[in-house]
Structure formats: structure tokens, C-alpha cells
């Protein structure tokens, strides 16, 4: 009998699988591959629904540069659900431009990035 995967293992098991974006109306779709993923358990909300934050690295064949997607999974009852309609997905260079601009303009955001850099050095 196969062992049942825990939520983090199940979320990570998507690495290497296909990714499909269907845009509204006649904007088309984009297909890619999930190259890597980080998962952070986020606890549960007041109604008891569990959440996991994710950061994904996606490769689309029509772009040289990879994309980063930030989103989450949730588990209402016993069903693990990807909350794809609320993700933010952009090319790596776009994320960099956004983060640098926000850090230059907002001290609270700069402090967050500086704190992250300190943690990475530990």
C-alpha cells in the first residue's frame, strides 16, 4: 500500500510538471514547466483552513528568462487546493525591478530586504 503524502510533499511533487495559464477572453494561454518550488506553512485561519505559501520558478518555452510565481495552497476540509487565481507571476527581471523600486521608495520594505539578507548570512 502506497504511503499517503503530507501536504508539503504533495505541493512539492508538482515540480517538473506542466503549468498552464489561460488568460481571459481571447488573450490566449501560456504553457510551461514548474522547475522549482519553495513551500512555507502559513498556519490556519480562524475557521480552521490550513494555508501554505509558495514561490515557484517556471520556465516558458517562448521566453529565455524564467518567471517567478508567488501564491498559495489552502486546504478546506481535507482537499488541498492551489489558489492560482490570486498568484502574482512575472519574469525574474520584472521582480527585481519591482523589489528595487519598492526598497528605494519605502523604508519599511528596504528593512525587510535587509533583514532577509542578514538571515541568509547566518
- Tell me what pLDDT residue 2 has: 64
Q: What is the pTM of this model?
A: 0.88
pLDDT lower than 50: segments of the chain: none
- Tell me what pLDDT residue 27 has: 86
- Tell me what pLDDT residue 109 has: 97
- Tell me what pLDDT residue 23 has: 81
- Tell me what pLDDT residue 1 has: 64
- Tell me what pLDDT residue 69 has: 96
Q: How far is CA 96 from CA 14, 29, 33, 39, 116, in A?
A: 25, 25, 21, 21, 15
Domain locations in the chain as residue ranges: 7-92
Amino acid at each position: 500500500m502506497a504511503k499517503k503524502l503530507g501536504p508539503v510533499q504533495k505541493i512539492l511533487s508538482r515540480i517538473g510538471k506542466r503549468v498552464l495559464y489561460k488568460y481571459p477572453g481571447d488573450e490566449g494561454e501560456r504553457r510551461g514547466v514548474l522547475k522549482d518550488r519553495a513551500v512555507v506553512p502559513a498556519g490556519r485561519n480562524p475557521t480552521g483552513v490550513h494555508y501554505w505559501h509558495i514561490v515557484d520558478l517556471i520556465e516558458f518555452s517562448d521566453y529565455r528568462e524564467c518567471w517567478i510565481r508567488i501564491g498559495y495552497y489552502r486546504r478546506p476540509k481535507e482537499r488541498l487546493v492551489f489558489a492560482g487565481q490570486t498568484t502574482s507571476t512575472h519574469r525574474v527581471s520584472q521582480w527585481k525591478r519591482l523589489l528595487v523600486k519598492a526598497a528605494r521608495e519605502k523604508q519599511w520594505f528596504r528593512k525587510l530586504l535587509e533583514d532577509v539578507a542578514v538571515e541568509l548570512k547566518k
